[in-house]
Amino acid sequence: MKKIETIFIIDDDPITVFGIKKLLGVCNIGAEVHSFGNGKEALECLNNKLARNESLPDVVFLDINMPIMDGWQFLEEFVTLPLIKRIRINIITSSIDPYDLENWEYYKARTHHLIDYRNKPIDKIEIEAITKAA
Amino acid sequence: MYNHYTLVGNFIIVLTGYKLHTPKYLIKQLPTAIVFLNTEFEVVHISDKWITDFNFAGNNLIGKSIHELFESVNEEWQAVMEACLLGKGGDTGLQSFRNKEGLQRWFEWTNIPWFDPNENIIGIIIQAADITERINNEMQQEKLKLLLNEKSEIAQIGSWEYDAATDELQWCQMTRKIHEVPDYFKPAINTGLEFYKEGYSRNTISLALYKAIETQSSWCEKVELITAEGNEKWVIVVGKPLYKDGEYKGLIGTLQDITHMVQSEIKTRESEDLLRTVIDNIPLNVYIKDLESRKILVNKSECKYLGVTDPSELLGKSDFDLYDKEIAQISRDEDLMVMNTQTPSIGMETVNVTKDGVATSFLTSKIPLIGADGECKGLIGISLDINNLKKQEAELRDLINVISLQNKKLVNFAHIVSHNLRSHTANFSMLLDFLVKEKDEQEKQHIIGMLTTASDSLLETLENLNEVVAVNSNTNLAKTQVVLYDKVGIVTKNLAEFLKENKATIINRIPKELKVNVIPAYIENILMNFITNSVRYKNPDRDPIIQLSATRKGQYDVLSIADNGMGIDLQKHRDKLFGMYKTFHGNSDAKGIGLYITKNQIEAMRGKIEVTSEVGNGTTFKVFLNEKD
């Protein structure tokens, strides 16, 4: 199995960020973890990495409801990025709104990246299952 | 064989002359058909008239038996002739005979015995008179009489005659029948008049009679009479004076029973009246158009709709005279379609616009009028005014829109609640799981700290949700008239410290006397929210200036709040601007609840909100406060 080197967590809730980080630590994946308070910050970081030709994240944990740029707005921009590497995006949300599920289908169909959709809370077993290279 | 001494009847003097041969020639020349027979029924003398009448020209008839001459001598005649020889004479009879042209001719014959001077019967004298003309005349008269009776019977026309000299009134059979009087009834002028119905009828006939007698004028009147048996009848009485040699003799006239006609006329009129009443009073516009689409009948509803009091004002007019040109053309095309195809068009929804611009929705049916010859004569139009229905339909649709909007809001809210509660509980469950498994005391404290934060945040969320629920469920909070200018003053005063801190300027351009129909607590919250937002999202390059103004627009008072702040990219954020927990700027104190509550409060007052913004230049919110409801 391919080694995971970089993980992004995009969520405005510090508790969720803490939780995901802790679970990843328990699982002992040993990757570099970056967290962002909203989509915009994460997008800026990605653009910088692209510009500097740095390695891109293998897995992204993405929240939907965030200020400034929410998860869907982030995806809208993300799918247009010239990324050859297939990245795994795990949408982690507490939303059960059908509108969000529709959006998930929409973006899944539009990109070569792997997009997964999970409801909170997430436990150790689940996080292990979805933290792998796409 | 002949005896020249014998003399007969009227010719006796002639025949008893001195010239013995005279009788033979005399008889021959008599202008009547006459024949002398001997006792053997053989011809002794015969007049030329007989020969021509009976077609015997060229034959010598003397000495021939009568039986040879007339094959069809009937038994009656034979008996008469035989009786004659016994001295019994003077009998007459009829004999028909077909002449050489094959036409039937009638003869009346008279037989008398032929006596010699000694009173001995020596034969029979037969005189035949051609009475064909008379018979024909009699038959003609009989026929005419029959015909007249028949006619009078069929047409129910009787006749009457008044003789002024004798003061006698004659009624024919039919006149009697109409009066229903027995055969022995003897009419007179006075009794005749009494049959007429008292009042108009009797007066009319009395006057006509009087005038006819006085001034010899004729008349023709339609009146009612009551028969001897008490039946009422309608009759036409015609009378005219009768003159003979220029002298007034009396009156003649006819009497026609027209009860059936009048009754059917009355029936027709009654059904016409009934139809007219129905057409006039049904709550539908009814009209009949000719082939040129000109109105030839309109009912009251149609008159009322087109604003005229009398149908005559519409007759002969086409839709082009009454409606907007475009509408009239549409209607004319429909008319042509119906008339050309002879197919009714039922229940079309149409809109008519009268010349004064008033539009009315109709449910219109057009039915072709087809004559007995199968040709289309025009059409009948029936229109039901469905303006009210349409209005109700529109209201209903509006209501459905409002309800579905509210339903959407409710579902949306349910999702917000579900999402917010789930995110907190998810955090609790996760943190507790960590806590249970955590060995490190310091990390334990860290987790407990986070649990406390999560708990506070849950409480805050619940409070926000409560507030939203309160706004949406307290829809029956009373709206009152509030001076908007003063409300801005109060809010500005409450925010004085905050405004001063941010060097913000409030410009209140709301008319001082303007009163708005609002829930006071809501309007204060709305003002406070917009003002604080304007200051909070100020442009870092300049001090905030907030301008408030208000205008009346239809049923709304429009409150406008314009700032010179950083603005919002509406293309990106319009959808989420008023959403719950949506923030667009990086400010850490943005909670994404203010505008959501504000919008809910405006909608609870049945108002609406609009926004325009330009990034870097500022934002203008327009709050529509519903005055009416």
The encoded tokens of residue B285 equal: 């516009």
Stretch (H or E) spanning B563: strand B556-563
Provide, as residue numbers in chain B, all residues whose Cβ is less than 8 Å from the Cβ of A123: 433
Whole-angstrom Cα distance, residue B430 to residue B427? 5
Residue recorded with tokens 């809730």: A13
Indicate the burial class of B596 (C-beta count within 10 angstroms; 0-12, 13-18, 19 or more). Answer: buried
Least confident of A100-114, B444-458, B564-578: B564-578
b/e sequence B348-382, b meaning 16+ C-beta within 10 Å: eebebeeeeeeebbbbbbbbbbeeeeeeebbbbbb
Indicate the burial class of B522 (C-beta count within 10 angstroms; 0-12, 13-18, 19 or more). Answer: buried
Look at residue B12 in the predicted model and tell me its pLDDT: 46
Pairing relation of β-strands B247-257 and B157-163?
A: antiparallel
The better pLDDT of the pair B367, B568 is held by B367
Best residue of B410, B430, B452 to probe chain A, by most A CBs closer than 10 Å: B430
* Chain B contact present for A131, CB below 8 A: no
Nearest to B616 by CA among B533, B532, B541: B541
Q: A104 with A117: CB under 8 angstroms?
A: yes
Give counts: helices (H), strands (E), chain A. Answer: 5, 5
Using left for φ > 0, alpha for ψ between -120 and 50, and beta otherwise, residue A33 falls in beta
The encoded tokens of residue B515 equal: 């009163």
Provide, as residue numbers in chain B, all residues whose Cβ is less than 8 Å from the Cβ of A18: 450
* Chain B contact present for A89, CB below 8 A: no
Stretch (H or E) spanning B44: strand B43-46
Look at residue B227 in the predicted model and tell me its pLDDT: 93
Bridge partners of residue B613, in order along the sequence: B619
B105 φ/ψ angles, rounded to the nearest 5 degrees: -125, 150
Distances in whole angstroms, Cα of residue B525 to Cα of each of B133, B479, B529, B583:
129, 15, 6, 19
Tens of pLDDT along B441-500? 999 999 999 999 889 988 888 888 888 888 877 766 788 899 999 999 999 999 998 999
The distance in angstroms from the start CA to the end CA of chain B is 144
B185 has a pLDDT exceeding 50: yes
What is the pLDDT averaged over residues B17-22?
Answer: 45
B138 has a pLDDT exceeding 60: yes
* Chain A contact present for B590, CB below 8 A: yes
3-state secondary structure of B381: strand
Starting at the edge strand found earlier in the chain, the sheet holding A59-62 runs: A32-36, A6-10, A59-62, A88-93, A114-119
Q: B80 with B91: CB under 8 angstroms?
A: yes
Pairing relation of β-strands A32-36 and A6-10?
A: parallel
Q: Using 50, 70 and 90 to split pLDDT, how confident is the model at B4?
A: very low
| Torsion sign, CA atoms B159, B163, B164, B168 | negative
**C-beta atoms of A15 and B422 within 8 A:** no
**C-beta atoms of B590 and A19 within 8 A:** no
Q: What is the mean pLDDT of chain B?
A: 85
Q: pTM of the prediction?
A: 0.51
B99 has a pLDDT exceeding 70: no
The better pLDDT of the pair B301, B14 is held by B301
Provide, as residue numbers in chain A, all residues whose Cβ is less than 8 Å from the Cβ of B420: 94
Least confident of B54-63, B339-348, B395-404: B54-63
Whole-angstrom Cα distance, residue B169 to residue B188? 5
B235 has a pLDDT exceeding 90: yes
Give the residue on B whose Cα is nearest the Cα of A68. Answer: B584
Look at residue B139 in the predicted model and tell me its pLDDT: 80
Provide, as residue numbers in chain B, all residues whose Cβ is less than 8 Å from the Cβ of A14: 450
**What's the CA angle centered on B66, arms B64 and B72, to 5 degrees?**
135
Tens of pLDDT along B355-398? 788 888 999 999 999 988 989 999 999 999 998 888 999 999 99
| Residue B279 CB neighbours (<10 A) | 20
Q: Identify which of A15, A68, A122 has the shortest CB distance to residue B431.
A: A15
Least confident of B64-78, B151-165, B238-252: B64-78
